[in-house]
Amino acid sequence: MCIIFIGTLSCKNTSGQDNYSEKQIVSMLKGFYTAYITENSKIPENKVKLDSIKSIYCTEELLNYIKKKFQERVLDYDPFLNAQMIDTRMLETLMVQKDSLKNNVFYVSYKYGALNTIKLTVAKEKSGYKIDHIFLVGL
């Protein structure tokens, strides 16, 4: 599979990146992925609840960017999971790891068949940390 990274959206707190709390961010990301995968795997899925989960954990800029990519029919997979299928068994192997060089870059991975890793950035906002950008596969 070919992976092409697109440019990142601007980070909200570039000057204070030293203030990022790895423990808080890992907890936030695990909370997001647990809620997102759990709700998304329900049949039928509750779109209102999924939108609420995304608005709690993601910046508005990221949500608008993803919405635009779906409208342009560029994405045919879930960008938060880099997958088309969603199952709660993904949570059994969910791991979050901070990038060794950049405080706001994290890798979320899980094994569901094959190992899948999502690279993302986190922004510090008044309300806490939020997912600010996802490096989309195939763009």
Listed by start position, the domains of the chain span: 20-134
Q: Is 62 exposed, middle or buried (0-12, 13-18, 19+ CB in 10 A)?
A: buried
Query: Is 134 within 8 Å of 79 (Cβ atoms)?
Result: yes
Q: Which stretch of 14-18, 48-52, 94-98 has the lowest confidence by average pLDDT? A: 14-18
Q: What is the pLDDT of residues 56-65, one digit of tens each?
A: 999 999 999 9
Q: What is the pLDDT of residues 7-30, one digit of tens each?
A: 333 344 443 445 679 999 999 999
If you average pLDDT over every residue of the chain, what do you get? 86
Give the pLDDT score at 102. Answer: 94
Give the pLDDT score at 6. Answer: 39
Q: What is the dihedral of CA 23, 21, 34, 116, to 10 degrees?
A: -90
Across 24-37, average pLDDT: 97
Give the pLDDT score at 57. Answer: 98
**Backbone torsions φ then ψ of 71, nearest 5 degrees:** -65, -35
CATH of domain 20-134: 3.10.450.50
From residue 115, alpha-carbon distances to 73, 90, 103, 128 in Å are 26, 10, 24, 29
Across 37-61, average pLDDT: 95
Please, where are the H alpha helices in 41-91?
A: 47-57, 60-71
Does residue 56 sit in helix, strand or coil? helix
